[in-house]
Structure 1
Amino acid sequence: MAMALPALQGSLLDTADEIELHGLDVRLTRTELSRGAWVDYRPGWLGGAEQLFDALHHDVPWYAEKREMYERVVDVPRLLKFYGEGEALPHPVLTEARDQLSTWYAAELGEPFVSAGMCLYRDGRDSVAWHGDRIGRSKDQDTMVAILSIGSARSLMLRPRGGGESLGFSLGHGDLVVMGGSCQRTWDHAIPKTNQPVGPRISIQFRPRGVR
């Protein structure tokens, strides 16, 4: 059974005219999980998310990825783009977001966020299955993955690795979630499919060096 967290409801409507980041020192809450994992949540961190969504939807060179599954090649149910360390990001506010996160979490993380992976979920049929970001150092070391969400609200689900009770975050326009501690090693997360009539959503994932 999934456990909903009613205090963690995303910003479903964003009417700000300018694209700007708000402070991380207010409205940021931490949920302690098990096995040394935790999740921070900051609703409405980004103002003007609708404008940023339009810019990224139009300007980012999205691509489709294929994956072998059950002895056949299938389309990954979302579009992707990855910006590695040193690559220019497609909008200056994303560089500012990465820098703010690096400064805020410097004492805990001990290193900056350097990359930005992006996923475009076109509708409720697009999804990502249960997984942890365990490629690279995150396979056996604590780290952080920060996700900025823009577009239609979707549920980010988390559960202990190996199964167990799950919890959910409804991420809407401009909401931020940061998975830290042992979260990538000891917990899994997913964006499940939905039959609800939802529009497109873009997820921007900031990671330190050597974490995918």
Structure 2
Amino acid sequence: MYPQQASLFGGGEPGVGDLSAARRTRLGAGAWIDTLPGWLAGADDLFARLAAEVPWRAERRVMYDDVVAVPRLLAHYGAGEALPDPVLERARDALGAYYAAELGEPFATAGLCYYRDGRDSVAWHGDRTGRGSERDTLVAILSLGEPRPLLLRPRGGGPAKVRCPLGHGDLIVMGGSCQRTWDHAIPKTRSTVGGRISVQFRPSGVR
């Protein structure tokens, strides 16, 4: 694992910022993203706690005729479960309050992914398991640790159309039809990068 490079603004007491400063980008076909760099203060300290304390699990999956390791560590907290740090509960509640009119319900679950270095990644996909396959929804992603680019492209293939470097407390919210009509990915990189933790807040029934 590569050493973690701290942000100049990533230390100190964690706390959420002003969501009204988020910038909305409309992607077309009813899809949009909101981005807000550095939304969470003290993100590097939170990264260190989560990396050390979350009960991370490694998973394996069938791919073609083989069983391969999922290239990242995972943790999941269902509806009603306590999150692994109080600041994540404050972040979830702030997001739920701000997006209440568009979401129509609270954020209920949190999925955590730990990208340990540039070899960890996630392939192109949309959160289309459950209601996200048929209805508009919101997925909010809080990024901690070293920045990694989140790529987006229209569903169906082709090159990335949007590139969002995310780390050190950055926030992206994917809304509208984004999960149905666009895909997103975190590619592998040969560059020397430290760890990144992605925290995905979702409403109930969306994976």
TM-score bracket for the superposition, by shorter chain length: over 0.9
**Cα distance in 1, alignment partners of residues 201 and 193 from structure 2:** 25
1:147–1:176 contact (8 Å) kept in structure 2: yes
Match of 2:144 among 150, 160, 167: 150
2:24–2:33 contact (8 Å) kept in structure 1: yes
| Aligned twin of 1:172 | 167
Structure with the bigger percentage of strand: 1
Q: After superposition, give the CA deviation of every residue in 1:83-120 in whole Å (9 maximum; x if it has no partner).
A: 00000000000000000000000011111101000000
| Aligned twin of 1:66 | 60
1:140 corresponds to which letter in structure 2?
A: E
Q: CA RMSD in A?
A: 1.2
TM-score, scaled to structure 2: 0.95
**Cα distance in 1, alignment partners of residues 11 and 189 from structure 2:** 28
Instruction: After TM superposition, give the deviation of residue 15 of structure 1 in Å.
Output: 3.9
TM-score, scaled to structure 1: 0.92
| Aligned twin of 1:3 | none
Structure 1 residue ranges without an equivalent (≥5): 1-10
Instruction: After TM superposition, give the deviation of residue 12 of structure 1 in Å.
Output: 5.2
| Aligned twin of 2:184 | 189
Whether 1:35 aligns to 2:10 is no
Whether 1:92 aligns to 2:86 is yes
| Aligned twin of 2:74 | 80
Size of the aligned set, in residue pairs, is 201
| Aligned twin of 1:25 | 20
Match of 2:193 among 178, 198, 207: 198
Q: 1:170 to 1:12 in 2, by over 3 A?
A: farther
Instruction: After TM superposition, give the deviation of residue 131 of structure 1 in Å.
Output: 0.2
Instruction: After TM superposition, give the deviation of residue 16 of structure 1 in Å.
Output: 3.5
1:19–1:46 contact (8 Å) kept in structure 2: yes
| Aligned twin of 1:114 | 108
Structure 2 residue ranges without an equivalent (≥5): 1-5
1:115–1:207 contact (8 Å) kept in structure 2: yes
